[in-house]
A and B are shown apart, each in its own frame.
Chain A
Amino acid sequence: MKAEAGENRITGRKRRVISIGFMILLVLLWELLSALIARPFLLPSPSAVFQSLWEHREEIFLTHLPATFGVVLAGGLLAVLLGAAFAVAMDWSPWLMRALYPLLTVTQTIPVMCLAPVLVLWFGYTFRMRAVVVILVNFFTVTVDLCDGFASTRQERTELMRTFGAGRLQQFTMLRMPTALPNLFTALKISVPWSVIGAAVAEWLGAPAGLGMYSRSCMLNLDAAGLLAPLMVLTALALGMNAVLGLAERKLMRWKA
């Protein structure tokens, strides 16, 4: 048994080494390929992308990243608050649930991103327009995930609470909310990358600052390395936010281990 456990640990570490090694290999291949093609406006090398990132570091990290992060944070938080409010209301009222749930599952299939130009008509190239794009992209996922989480409460537990004399409010706060907590984290983790994508797309349409806007302006200048550099920052932003969420999840759900 002990030997087996030891072997498992080695394979765990091995697996990580393999995946990191493979990633390095891919980057090297990309570098080689771009050297072979030798047309940096078609396929810039990874080193060129990093170089572009370094050269424009002040502009990217001090102007454009804060602008995008602001849209992601404001839109994301509002989406979660709004989605949660809808989910709570629907869980409370079976009538609302019957009316809205089918509608929400249908609207989930609408590519909200394609509605962004309409939002430009309504709000102009404003912060509000970009935040609304992020809200629309995430709102339905949060609502549906949370609704399903509340609904996964076991009937027997609800009845046990009733025998203790718990009313609906106590049943909700002491039983249904903790039951749905894992679903909330699932929704949040899906929302983070979609918020980043939503913000970047909204910025493509036009914005005074932001990584999406910066990336697009590089495209217009046929600067492929400059186009890719902010995308790497966007990816890092999403990964970083999800890492923070993961920490919060582990702290809040220690009981799951």
Chain B
Amino acid sequence: MLTLENIRFTYPNAGTPIFDGLSLQAERGSFVSIIGASGSGKTTLFRLLNGLEQPEAGRILIDGAPVTARKHFASYMPQQDLLFPWLTVEKNVMLPMTVQKQPAERSADKARAMLAQVGLTGWEDHYPRELSGGMRQRVSFARTLCAGGDVLLLDEPFSALDSITRISLQEWLLDQWRHLEKTILFITHDVEEAIFLSQKVLVLTGHPVTGLREFPVPMPAERSREMLLEPQVARLKEDLIALLRSEAKAGEQYNLNESGSR
């Protein structure tokens, strides 16, 4: 279980905090999506979880223990694949293990196993430029798995892909999640993507963000794209869109007041 308790965070040079008293919980092995209007702090939330930023107040716990004790509890997958062009696909996947100074032989074996897992056997010795956008994201996912965290932080990983590739990668990711026994936190601005993938959707609300609104997704783990058309799922989608729109409007008003008071 991943728990955030009363997190407070302010960017340097920013007058007001972006989070104040933010709490959230994600059960072990669950798939949770986080949506919010742009500028609502989705990416900042991940930066706190992957250690790039430290909260001013509050605690991040994993199974009740503070995360500072466990170094690599969360593995981060960025929006762009950020593969190193000078490394082969296999060496790219090995990168987190190389950084953590794990034995090269074992790292290579694990990297090959992960590439098989994401369906890229045979591409080990190719360079990233030879791969399509969808394949590169799968390499990036394999690399994330090799970073060794029980929690995967996926930051809009499909936003740069064309819609057909995106749909097939969503189904692919769902399939991966069922086999992996990892907790996945998934940032997206696409409401339908959030619903299709996750067991619950969290919406960041307020300026600063003080709380999360939680929406369970009324679909079984084994799901298909057609289920998105069922009435209760369609209603959830409309509710989420309405909430995001009102939040975006409130955000505009807030920013206007902020710039006025400065």
Check A156/B80 contact, CB under 8 A, given A164-B95, A164-B147. yes
Report B136-161 residues with CB < 8 Å from chain A CB.
147
Of A160, A165, A257, which is within 8 A of B72 by CB? A165
Check A164/B52 contact, CB under 8 A, given A253-B86, A256-B85. no
Contacting residues, chain B, for A157 (C-beta < 8 A): 82, 84
Asked whether, in the complex, the Cβ of B129 is within 8 Å of the Cβ of A257, the reply is: yes
Contacting residues, chain A, for B76 (C-beta < 8 A): 160, 163
Check A178/B51 contact, CB under 8 A, given A164-B99, A170-B99. no
For the complex, give the distance between the alpha carbons of A174 and B82 in Å. 14
Interface-central residue, A163, A166, A254, by most chain B CB under 10 Å? A163
In the complex, what residue of chain A is closest to B149 when comparing beta carbons?
Answer: A163
* Interface SS of chain A: helix
Of A161, A178, A181, A255, which is within 8 A of B99 by CB? A161
Asked whether, in the complex, the Cβ of A160 is within 8 Å of the Cβ of B99, the reply is: no
Asked whether, in the complex, the Cβ of A156 is within 8 Å of the Cβ of B82, the reply is: yes
Asked whether, in the complex, the Cβ of A163 is within 8 Å of the Cβ of B100, the reply is: no
Report B72-97 residues with CB < 8 Å from chain A CB.
72, 75-76, 78, 80, 82, 84-87, 95-96
B154 to A: closest C-beta gap in Å: 13
Is residue B225 within 8 Å, beta carbon to beta carbon, of the partner chain?
no
Contacting residues, chain A, for B23 (C-beta < 8 A): none
Report B142-192 residues with CB < 8 Å from chain A CB.
147
Is residue B215 within 8 Å, beta carbon to beta carbon, of the partner chain?
no
Asked whether, in the complex, the Cβ of A255 is within 8 Å of the Cβ of B129, the reply is: yes
In the complex, what residue of chain B is closest to A171 when comparing beta carbons?
Answer: B99
Asked whether, in the complex, the Cβ of A174 is within 8 Å of the Cβ of B52, the reply is: no
Of B52, B84, B99, which is within 8 A of A166 by CB? B99
Check A164/B100 contact, CB under 8 A, given A156-B78, A157-B84, A256-B85. yes
Report B115-147 residues with CB < 8 Å from chain A CB.
127-129, 147
Asked whether, in the complex, the Cβ of B82 is within 8 Å of the Cβ of A255, the reply is: no
For the complex, give the distance between the alpha carbons of A170 and B84 in Å. 14
For the complex, give the distance between the alpha carbons of A222 and B96 in Å. 68
Interface-central residue, B71, B75, B76, by most chain A CB under 10 Å? B76
Asked whether, in the complex, the Cβ of B86 is within 8 Å of the Cβ of A255, the reply is: yes
Is residue A159 within 8 Å, beta carbon to beta carbon, of the partner chain?
yes
Residues 94-106 of chain B, each 1 if its beta carbon lies under 8 Å from chain A, else 0 = 0110111000000
Interface-central residue, A161, A162, A164, A256, by most chain B CB under 10 Å? A164
What are 27 A-B residue pairs whose CB atoms fall within 8 Å in the complex?
A156-B78, A156-B80, A157-B84, A160-B76, A160-B78, A160-B82, A162-B52, A163-B51, A163-B75, A163-B76, A164-B99, A164-B147, A165-B71, A165-B72, A165-B99, A166-B99, A174-B99, A175-B84, A178-B84, A178-B86, A253-B86, A255-B85, A255-B86, A255-B128, A255-B129, A257-B127, A257-B129
Q: State the B residues within 8 Å of A (CB).
A: 50-52, 71-72, 75-76, 78, 80, 82, 84-87, 95-96, 98-100, 127-129, 147
**Can you name 17 extra interface pairs (CB under 8 A) apart from A160-B76, A174-B98, A178-B86?**
A156-B82, A157-B84, A162-B51, A163-B50, A163-B76, A164-B95, A164-B99, A164-B100, A165-B71, A165-B72, A174-B95, A174-B99, A181-B86, A255-B85, A255-B86, A255-B128, A256-B85
Q: State the A residues within 8 Å of B (CB).
A: 154, 156-157, 159-166, 170, 174-175, 178, 181, 253-257
